[in-house]
Structure 1
Amino acid sequence: MYYCDIINYFISKNLLRFKRALSRAVKDKWRQKEWFEAQLPRYFGESKLGETPAEDPNKIVGRVLETTLSQITGDFSQEYLKLYFQITSVDGHQAKTVFKGHEYLRDYLRSLIRRRSTKIDGIFMVNTIDGYKLKSLILKPHLNL
């Protein structure tokens, strides 16, 4: 064996080790993600709702985004109402949403009921003309006299 062959053998062996180490290296998945801008539906003004990251545009379809009514309208007195929007489609880096539902914050509902009173709940399932099902919860404080 020649001296040159021995050197080539060690170089090729180290090169294989280096390639294996590179293939096992942890890749940062956060850098591979792109940011998509979610837009409000037309009946809310089609303004920007927020941004969400994803590796693939198809992975954000179906995600539910949460915001408050005060962030949409700019009126701080409506901070107690949470709105949910679901992403339905993606066009480029723009994600289209539809209104999914809403709920009141627990703190707000508790503030409506005072001491020495009972709470009367009425839960009704309502079908709208356009085919949506609504579950309405009616709260009425009832005074014990």
Structure 2
Amino acid sequence: MLYNLLKLTHVLSIIVWIGGMVFAHFFLRPAALQLPPPERLRLMQDVLRRFFAGVAVAIGLVLVTGLWMIGRVAKQAVQSGGSFAMPLDWTLMAALGIVMMAIFGHIRFALFKRLTRAVAASDWATGGQALASIRTWVGVNLALGVAIVAITLLM
């Protein structure tokens, strides 16, 4: 039962992260393009601040639940007299997940910081450049997230 609850938390956290990227990338951004740059950048900065806080929580939950589930399966294998070799799909999921987390760190702590400074200074050109960089890296993370889902479901 605990394993199932942890797996549910793991998957729901991933849904929040990937779903939020889909929403921001394909729905919010195109709609926000209709706003003048000062309004658009303020809106995106505020939305991303809130979203990134949620993603930080989701990442923590993904890490804790993922490591716990791997550890539990490994422990059961060893206790039953066998050995544990992590399946290839789990290895790919974990490795790509770590890459996604690193990219998120870059987005949140470098690019978003630039956006926040630009909005505070009413420097709309710099803010637009920062937002464009965020969009690019979110696109990369979204592609990696979709690849992880495909790998885990198709392998």
TM category, shorter? under 0.3
Give the structure, 1 or 2, with the largest relative contact order (CA under 8 Å, sep 6 or more).
2
Q: Specify the structure having the higher radius of gyration (Cα).
A: 1
What TM-score do you get using the length of structure 1 for normalisation? 0.23
Q: Which has the higher strand share?
A: 1
What TM-score do you get using the length of structure 2 for normalisation? 0.22
Q: Which has the higher helix share?
A: 2
